[in-house]
Amino acid sequence: MSLKIAIQGVPGSFHHQVALKNFGSDAEILAFNTFEPVAKSVAIGEADFGVMAIENSIAGAILPNYDLIDRYELNIRDEFYLPIAHQFMALPGQQIEDILEVRSHPMALLQCKAFFAKHTHIQQFDDVDTASVAKRIADEKLTGMAAVASEIAAEIYGLEILARDIQTVKDNFTRFIILQKEKPVQDIVPNKVSFKITIRNQKGGLAKLLTMFSDKDLNLSKIQSIPVIEKPWDYAFFIDAEFDNYGQFQEAMELAIRDFGDLKIFGEYTSRKA
């Protein structure tokens, strides 16, 4: 029986590419328009795994996705860094001057700001996904509209690429995480962790916490704060950290629970960053 993989987006999307690279072409893809049903499908066992973008090297973190992992009690199995190249595509036979509007995922448009600053006649509109716009243009034969999507999407839906690699920064990566319902069993000692800590409202609490992490040789690669709705002036921090010594990491987590607040670990895994 093939694995069922939940993704946001249609065939040709970046999530689809990551799913195929991680689970192979035999995997059954469950495609959703937004991220929440991806999380839900994994939580209820409809999907074996989920693929979810969590941050981009240009546009930054996708903060709502951290909240989804937390609310649906999901576990991070692994991470995957995908180099992102955005293509400007439309129905064949058109020129850039013929295009009046472009639609894509807001993160994709944000990553191409410099290109659209040079083509101010093109109106930008946010959409649910990169490849789904390409599909709609092909299905409905929409002229005057372009999509920002992957080269694979252009091939799948028969669109012509009018401008290649339009992302502002050419060294552009999106970090994806692989999610599952149960806590994964690791066959090697992990060197990266993702967790949430809710710090008690005390003077200098965050500074003391970060100092303790530094003393335990944890390298914090990401820290995002969100207010705790039910506790005014308390904040939760979503943190990614890398470490070389698993024992010191465990000591850091024990100290965090003892001295600083509530701790929830989303996953211990291997860093895939080159």
- Residue 45's domain is classified under what CATH number? 3.40.190.10
Least confident range of 39-53, 200-214, 244-258: 200-214
- β-pair type (173-180, 4-8): unpaired
Question: Quick one: pLDDT band at residue 205, thresholds 50, 70, 90?
Answer: confident
* 272 occurs within a structural domain: no
Q: Name the 3-class secondary structure at 229.
A: coil
pLDDT attached to residue 132:
95
Residues 262, 202 share a domain: yes
Residues 129, 69 share a domain: no
* 273 occurs within a structural domain: no
- 111-150: pLDDT as tens digits: 999 999 999 999 999 998 999 999 999 999 999 999 999 9
Residues 176, 61 share a domain: yes
Q: Residue 159: is its pLDDT beyond 90?
A: yes
* 187 occurs within a structural domain: no
* 186 occurs within a structural domain: no
Q: Residue 193: is its pLDDT beyond 80?
A: yes
Residue 263: domain span: 192-267
Task: Quote the percentage of the chain above a pLDDT of 90.
Answer: 82
* 238 occurs within a structural domain: yes
Average pLDDT (17-39) is: 95
Residues 134, 121 share a domain: yes
Domain boundary among 148, 180, 212: 180
pLDDT attached to residue 232:
75
Q: Residue 194: is its pLDDT beyond 80?
A: yes
Average pLDDT (226-246) is: 87
* 12 occurs within a structural domain: yes
Residues 130, 229 share a domain: no
- The secondary structure of residue 66, as a DSSP letter, is H
Q: Residue 60: is its pLDDT beyond 90?
A: no
Q: Is residue 179 within 8 Å of 73, Cβ to Cβ? A: no
Domain boundary among 124, 154, 180: 180
Where residue 61 falls (left for φ over 0; alpha for ψ -120 to 50; beta otherwise) is beta
User: What secondary structure, in 3-state letters, does 237-262 show?
Assistant: EEEEEECCCHHHHHHHHHHHHHHCEE
Residues 249, 136 share a domain: no
Residues 93, 66 share a domain: no
- Kindly tell me the burial class for residue 13, based on how many C-beta atoms sit within 10 Å of its own C-beta (0-12, 13-18, 19 or more): buried
pLDDT attached to residue 1:
79
Residues 239, 135 share a domain: no
Q: Residue 244: is its pLDDT beyond 80?
A: yes
- β-pair type (60-61, 192-199): unpaired
- Kindly tell me the burial class for residue 99, based on how many C-beta atoms sit within 10 Å of its own C-beta (0-12, 13-18, 19 or more): buried
Residues 176, 45 share a domain: yes
Residues 151, 204 share a domain: no
pTM of the complete model: 0.89
Least confident range of 133-137, 177-181, 221-225, 253-257: 221-225
What is the rounded CA–CA span in Å between residue 161 and residue 133?
14
Residue scoring higher pLDDT (269 or 204): 269
**How many domains, in total, are found in the chain?**
3
pLDDT attached to residue 191:
97
pLDDT attached to residue 195:
97
